[in-house]
């Protein structure tokens, strides 16, 4: 299925998909595509007003779409705990698409719990959410999809100093995404060792830009870039609707194995159809991964029961 697209989605009626950060960008289009296939989509977002606008946009395109809002602020561990309680109470969760995240912060900022914003939101918030939802995912023989990034190529994890005092915006983002990926691959290895039916898959969107993304009412997109800029970037990038394809394929395709890395199949993984692609070896380094999980448990107070 090298030319996979949303038309290849199986019938997802009766399956519940939780998508974090589903009110905008990649998360919005993942919600739209999953809803079109009949899934019950839980749009987990910190901003109810924006989420409801996104849900309205989906239902305008897909009459009868089953999409609902769940409050979730990944930068606040109390909010994560509340969301885990609510989502667990509803029963099985077939997929958790851990998409939400902070993409860049010019100056150092902190989460409500005092963590550097990008690491605290992108990795620690999702770590706590994933650990809390494992029983519901297990009941459904479900899967977790972790949102990676090609930026993981350029950094390494120092588990003794994951949030250095000297702040660099690009490095903080890349470090957070490498942590997400390292956790995702290690989770797959541990689940497999225990014989768990849950899959853990890492996916990334390539270079997905607003300027190449179709508009949706009420969904903020900056796609007013000058035509020359579009012409230069179009051959090496894609819209966020297409960038969502690897995430959606990872969330539903039974042929995608646990521990896989799913991304665009084009040059440098910047654009193309979703396929199994290569992650850098350091993202799969298990000693580093074990230390990362130990640190994440200590910081969040949440145990990964594996």
Examine the pLDDT at 230 and tell me if it is beyond 80: no
pLDDT, average across residues 1-18: 86
Examine the pLDDT at 91 and tell me if it is beyond 90: no
What is the band of 79 on the pLDDT scale with cuts at 50, 70, 90? very high
* pTM confidence score: 0.95
Specify whether the CB–CB gap between 204 and 153 falls below 8 A: no
Examine the pLDDT at 217 and tell me if it is beyond 90: no
pLDDT of residue 56: 96
What is the band of 29 on the pLDDT scale with cuts at 50, 70, 90? very high
pLDDT, average across residues 267-280: 95
Poorest-pLDDT segment among 181-190, 235-244, 269-278: 235-244
Distances (CA, A) of 165 to 155, 183, 223, 265, 299: 17, 23, 35, 37, 17
| Separation CA 73–CA 121 (nearest Å) | 8
pLDDT of residue 2: 67
Examine the pLDDT at 235 and tell me if it is beyond 70: no
Examine the pLDDT at 297 and tell me if it is beyond 70: yes
pLDDT, average across residues 123-148: 97
Mean pLDDT of the chain: 93
Which one from 28, 167, 173, 261 is the annotated catalytic residue?
173
What is the band of 73 on the pLDDT scale with cuts at 50, 70, 90? very high
pLDDT of residue 214: 86
Examine the pLDDT at 55 and tell me if it is beyond 70: yes
What is the band of 105 on the pLDDT scale with cuts at 50, 70, 90? confident
Percent of the chain with pLDDT over 90: 83
Q: For this structure, is 261 an active site residue?
A: no
pLDDT of residue 75: 97
| Separation CA 132–CA 283 (nearest Å) | 23
Query: Hunting for tokens 């705990």 — which residue is that?
Result: 81
What is the band of 289 on the pLDDT scale with cuts at 50, 70, 90? very high
Examine the pLDDT at 71 and tell me if it is beyond 90: yes
Examine the pLDDT at 1 and tell me if it is beyond 60: no
pLDDT of residue 167: 94
What is the band of 222 on the pLDDT scale with cuts at 50, 70, 90? low
pLDDT, average across residues 279-305: 97
Structure tokens at 253: 């395709």
pLDDT tens-digit readout, 148-175: 999 999 999 999 999 999 999 999 999 9
Distances (CA, A) of 101 to 78, 97, 159, 233: 17, 12, 20, 24
pLDDT of residue 237: 80
Farthest CA pair distance, the chain:
53
pLDDT: is 229 or 146 the higher one?
146
Distances (CA, A) of 271 to 64, 223, 234: 32, 18, 9
Distances (CA, A) of 61 to 57, 58, 236, 241: 7, 5, 29, 14
pLDDT, average across residues 12-34: 96
| Separation CA 82–CA 46 (nearest Å) | 12
- Domains of the chain, earliest start first: 12-300 (3.40.50.720)
pLDDT, average across residues 182-191: 98
């Amino acid at each position: 299925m090298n030319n996979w697209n949303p038309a290849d989605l199986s019938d997802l009626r009766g399956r519940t998909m939780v998508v974090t950060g589903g009110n905008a960008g990649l998360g919005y289009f993942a919600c739209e595509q999953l809803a079109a296939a009949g899934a019950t989509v839980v749009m987990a977002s910190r901003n109810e007003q924006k989420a409801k606008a996104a849900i309205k946009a989906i239902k305008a395109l897909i009459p009868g779409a089953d999409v609902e809002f769940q409050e979730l602020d990944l930068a606040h561990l109390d909010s994560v705990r509340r969301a885990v309680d609510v989502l667990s109470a509803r029963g099985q969760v077939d997929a958790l698409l851990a998409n939400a995240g902070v993409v860049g912060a010019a100056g150092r900022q902190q989460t409500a719990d005092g963590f550097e914003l990008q690491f605290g939101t992108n990795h620690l918030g999702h770590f706590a959410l994933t650990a809390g939802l494992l029983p519901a995912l297990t009941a459904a023989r479900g899967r977790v999809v972790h949102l990676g990034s090609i930026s993981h190529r350029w950094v390494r994890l120092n588990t003794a100093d994951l949030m250095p005092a000297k702040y660099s915006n690009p490095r903080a983002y890349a470090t957070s995404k490498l942590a997400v990926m390292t956790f995702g691959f290690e989770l797959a290895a541990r689940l497999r060792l225990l014989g768990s039916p849950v899959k853990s898959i890492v996916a990334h969107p390539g270079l997905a830009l607003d300027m190449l993304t179709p508009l949706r009412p009420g969904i903020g997109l900056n796609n007013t870039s000058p035509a020359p800029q579009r012409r230069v970037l179009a051959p090496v990038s894609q819209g966020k609707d297409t960038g969502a394809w690897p995430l959606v394929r990872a969330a539903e395709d039974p042929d995608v194995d646990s521990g896989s890395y799913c991304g665009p199949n084009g040059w440098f993984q910047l654009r193309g159809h979703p396929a199994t692609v290569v992650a850098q070896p350091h993202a799969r380094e298990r000693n580093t991964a074990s230390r990362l999980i130990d640190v994440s448990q200590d910081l969040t107070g949440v145990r990964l029961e594996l």
